[in-house]
Amino acid sequence: MNKFAMFGKLTAHSGKREELVSLMLEASRSLNDMEGCELYIINESVDDPDVIWVTELWHDAQAHADSLKNEQVLSVIQQAKPLIAGVEPIRIRPVGGKGLGV
C-alpha cells in the first residue's frame, strides 16, 4: 500500500470561501484526466464559514508531486493564493476500507 492521502484544510479570507470553492472545483476538473489522482473532493466545513477541506487520495506520493508540476494546477494555485489565509494539511496513511480501490 503506497497510496498517498491527506485532508487539506484551506482557510479563506473572510467572505472569500465561495470564490475559493469555485477555483478549487476548476482545479479538480484538470485532475479528471490524471490517472494517479484517485480522489480530490472539495468540501465546505459545516462549522467554520471560511474553511474548505479537500479529501485527497493519490496512487502514490509521486503522483501527487507530479500534479504540482502540472501547468493548469499551477495556474489555479496562483489564482487561489490571494484568497487563502491559511493552509493546514492533516497527513494520513490509508490502511484499507471501502472505496480505497486497492
Residues engaged in binding its own copies (CB under 8 A): 5, 7, 21, 24-25, 28, 31-32, 37-47, 53-55, 57, 90-100
Instruction: Report how far residue 35's alpha carbon sits from residue 61's, in angstroms, rounded to the nearest whole number.
Output: 13
In whole angstroms, the minimum distance from the beta carbon of 96 to its own copies comes to 5
- Of 64 and 94, the one with the shorter C-beta distance to its own copies is 94
Evaluate whether 76 touches 32 at the Cβ level (below 8 Å): no
- Of 7 and 70, the one with the shorter C-beta distance to its own copies is 7
Evaluate whether 18 touches 95 at the Cβ level (below 8 Å): no
In whole angstroms, the minimum distance from the beta carbon of 87 to its own copies comes to 16
In whole angstroms, the minimum distance from the beta carbon of 38 to its own copies comes to 6
- Of 29 and 75, the one with the shorter C-beta distance to its own copies is 29
In whole angstroms, the minimum distance from the beta carbon of 69 to its own copies comes to 18
Number of CB atoms found within 10 A of residue 74's CB: 12
DSSP string, 7-35: EEEEEEPTT-HHHHHHHHHHHHHHTTT-T
